Structure 1
């Protein structure tokens, strides 16, 4: 009698559970590594292009108030009336002020006051006037234009602001960037008993 040979076929859809577990672990590890890499790149790009600062003080009231957070976009062209974040030599921390005077703007100083032309170049029909500290007035006395690569900045709350009137021009290289967004602080009301 001829011998019967049985062909055994592997059953479809059944795999080794150990192989499934290895594949699942490998997939999870790849996804975690990919997620961490993506987060690292996003974080690097954000730090390269943006910074966040918390406002301290009242020199920019009502535009910015104590403990507001601002997002500063780095390496942006500065225009008149932009709010910029910058550092000042011999001063601690960052400052946030509004740009009033641009490089090349016509100006003059008389009796400790700076008259800044913010209209057409040289016509002095649209001006702003600022009382300067004696040191800054002396420094600006011989100028008839704002020098290249510096800006005249002032706080919106002019009565209390420490700005270009007291520390002079702000160097372009000291400007971190322009304020793009204000994130207001959430003040929770205290319950009274």
Structure 2
């Protein structure tokens, strides 16, 4: 049997540890959680085996990097949101047009520069060619990987329901030289 003093000491040590474990569980369950990137579809923004933190809170906007339940297998994908509800999407001569307005994609610069001058990094398409509609309906997103030539994304499997989004990629914590905020 432990003495009263020993029990108090044990309680003083175990109580903060227990509170920390509960706080970590709540934080991970409702706010942020770690994940690992598998594959090269988001290269060079996110590379295979990068360790990332995903936020479960906040709104998803165009150009955010999101993790979602894959529509074609029992896995999760990480891709960039290109179109949100109401958007009309078109790619022409390696330029993204959203609702008729040209949008720069600086995150593609490194990969585009590595290509032959006359080659397209992103093949031409209109949203209608991919999903059979001109605009993205409510409740859906159009996503693409940054490594456009090696990405299974909305061009192949169509729109993703917003309800399948697990969260937004906020931070890369491994490898250490690349540690920092994403986007």
TM-score scaled by length of structure 1: 0.69
| In 1: Cα distance, 2:51 partner to 2:170 partner | 11
Shift of 1:139: 6.3
* Post-superposition CA distance 1:109-141 (Å, at most 9, x none): 9xxxxx9742xxx5x132697556xxx966622
Secondary structure of the residue aligned to 1:40 is: helix
Point out the structure with the larger helix share. 2
Q: Which residue of 2 aligns with 1:27?
A: 8
| Unaligned runs of at least 5 residues, structure 1 | 1-20, 110-114, 188-193
Shift of 1:53: 1.2
The aligned length equals: 154
Is 1:153 aligned with 2:134?
no
Q: Which residue of 2 aligns with 1:16?
A: none
Is 1:140 aligned with 2:140?
no
| Unaligned runs of at least 5 residues, structure 2 | 105-121, 178-183
- Of 10, 13, 19, the match for 1:38: 19
TM-score scaled by length of structure 2: 0.72
Is 1:52 aligned with 2:34?
yes
- Of 104, 128, 136, the match for 2:86: 104
| In 2: Cα distance, 1:144 partner to 1:57 partner | 31
